[in-house]
Amino acid sequence: MPIVSLIAKPGHLDPALVDNLRNAWGGGVATWLAMDEAAEFPLAAIPDNVDDVRASLVDQVDLNILPDDNRKKRMVLADMDSTMIQQECIDELAEEAGVGAFVKDITARAMNGELDFDGALTERVALLKDLPESVIDTVVENRITLMPGGKTLLATMKAQGGYAALVSGGFTAFTSRVSDLLGFDENRANSLLIEDGKLTGKVGLPILGREAKVQALEEITARLGISEADVVAVGDGANDLGMLTRAGFGVALHAKPSVQAECALRVNHGDLTALLYLQGYPKAEFVSE
């Protein structure tokens, strides 16, 4: 039996909207996971006009259709840039190098799938040549902020025995720190090559891109003895699509248009705790850090 999930910013989910939609679709009793923020109800069958209704609500509510079985996942597999943190690390490094606007444009196009990921990364990193290694600390301390809800997402899932892996097309210099801050069990990313205290403008090979994220999904689930259906994956860029379309729940979080178009689950209004609501966790069961 499919489940209709409705998630909005706190205080912005109108109970009348939930009731009207439930009545229109002949749904079952609505359950509020968080008053005025997240609700869900079961359906006998998926209506024909789901896409139209979803489009009509896109400016105010995240509407998703979920299966009612195996909702609580045993692993979270997450992208870092613009997912677990609110920035793109390479854009912030580029700002320090004085080429921020140019690099930001390339990043946006690469994340929307308009450019080859490996080539775009190589081109952008080349522009960082000769920056002092200390720029990494500067960016972490002054430019990087965590995406709201990330610590609660990981703490809640790990309290239920879940596993958390951070897989990024960014850099280990950042994933190692973000991983520690949020409580990930492991992290994978690219390496910024450094010589004599300066960035060389090169990336360690092989470059971790779309296929490497799928490989991480395959390797980690095999090691843990779980299936890909037991995973909730989250990301925002085209290089995340491989893992998003393979995982049991693949969530496009504040994602690029081309990514949202290929993902069944989309979150544009909620923060990372929306991944808990999608799994059926009520707010009362959230675990803080």
Catalytic sites, residue numbers? 79, 81
Of 236, 272, 60, 271, nearest to 154 (Cα)? 272
Tokens encoding 186: 């492991």
| Backbone φ and ψ of 269, nearest 5° | -110, -35
Tokens encoding 142: 């002054």
* Rounded distance between C-alpha atoms, residue 136 and residue 238, angstroms: 25
* Rounded distance between C-alpha atoms, residue 98 and residue 73, angstroms: 43
Element (H, E) at 93: helix 89-97
Rg (CA), the chain: 20
* Rounded distance between C-alpha atoms, residue 204 and residue 133, angstroms: 15
Q: In what order do the strands lie in the sheet with 249-253?
A: 186-190, 163-171, 75-78, 231-235, 249-253, 265-267
Tokens encoding 81: 């840039």
The tally of CA atoms less than 13 A away on the side-chain side of residue 246 is: 18
Strand partners, 167: 188
Tokens encoding 258: 């081309």
Are 254 and 267 a contacting pair, CB within 8 Å? Answer: yes
Output the CA angle 213-217-220, nearest 5 degrees.
125
